[in-house]
Amino acid sequence: MHTVKIADWAIQQTLLRRGTRHVHDNIDPRKTALVVVDMQNGFCVEEVAAAYVPYAVETIPAINRLASAVRRTGGKVFFLKQTVDAESAVAWSEWLGMMTPDTRQRLMTNLVPGSRGHELHSDLDVKAEDEIVLKTRFSGFVQGSSDLPQRLRQQGYDTVLITGTVTNVCCESSARDAMMLNFKTIMVSDANSTRTDEEHNATLSTFLAIFGDVMDTDYLIGRLEAGAAVRVAAE
């Protein structure tokens, strides 16, 4: 697991700007969506990896616990799948064009629909009521990547919890864009993964200071349960 260490400058800047460490402490579980980013074999299983992230599999227990809590308290789970097919390869040719031929071929082989690499990791607890969303850019929220923002708004979700891999690529891109599309956005510190602690903590520090909130799984589950308890007491 990553050793999480939010930079002191980020904490101090957050307190100065917001007056509190956690700006999204009061969560309405019924308006909360868990977004699981790219937890596919193509990132979690080395033999079919488009880009292998050794830490990724270690976050699955936390993702599963959080998914269970979100469902139990009235929210919904969305699994994003990075997708590279013939159409997206043309539409995002600039990205693929920056790679060596071997790297490009590995991505196009292991992230195409129908491949083993494109499948979600088998240890993920995926339920029938969850939604699977294909995306064709790093961010699931940027225009032209997926219909995730539309799905969330149509179903009444205004808060998103970002988990998955890679922390400083697809997770960060999705989290930043979600916030800029006016979703309350929380990155989950122990349910995201990348290649090094340095990359992981740099993303979490910047996101906390500027874009949204950062919480760990235990704290977040506590806030979801507290929100559900408030709702029950009011009914």
pLDDT digits (tens, 9 = 90+) for 61-82: 999 999 999 999 999 999 999 9
Separation CA 153–CA 66 (nearest Å): 21
Determine how β-strand 184-193 pairs with β-strand 159-165. Answer: parallel
Separation CA 200–CA 139 (nearest Å): 17
Residue 143 Cα distances to 38, 139, 148, 174, angstroms = 18, 9, 10, 11
pLDDT of 183: 98
Q: What is the pTM of this model?
A: 0.97
Q: How far is CA 41 from the centre of its chain?
A: 16
Beta bridge partners of 233: none
- Looking at CATH, the fold of the domain delimited by 29-234 is given as Rossmann fold (3.40.50)
Task: Give the number of other CB atoms < 10 A from CB of residue 154.
Answer: 9
Q: Are 180 and 157 in contact (CB under 8 A)?
A: no
pLDDT digits (tens, 9 = 90+) for 24-73: 999 999 999 999 999 999 999 999 999 999 999 999 999 999 999 999 99
- Which amino acid belongs to residue 93? S
Helix (H) or strand (E) holding 139: none
Beta bridge partners of 81: 134
* pLDDT tens digits in sequence order for the chain, 235 residues long: 899 999 999 999 999 999 999 999 999 999 999 999 999 999 999 999 999 999 999 999 999 999 999 999 999 999 999 999 888 889 999 999 999 999 999 999 999 999 999 999 999 999 999 999 999 999 999 999 999 999 999 999 999 999 999 999 999 999 999 999 999 999 999 999 999 999 999 999 999 999 999 999 999 999 999 999 987 787 7
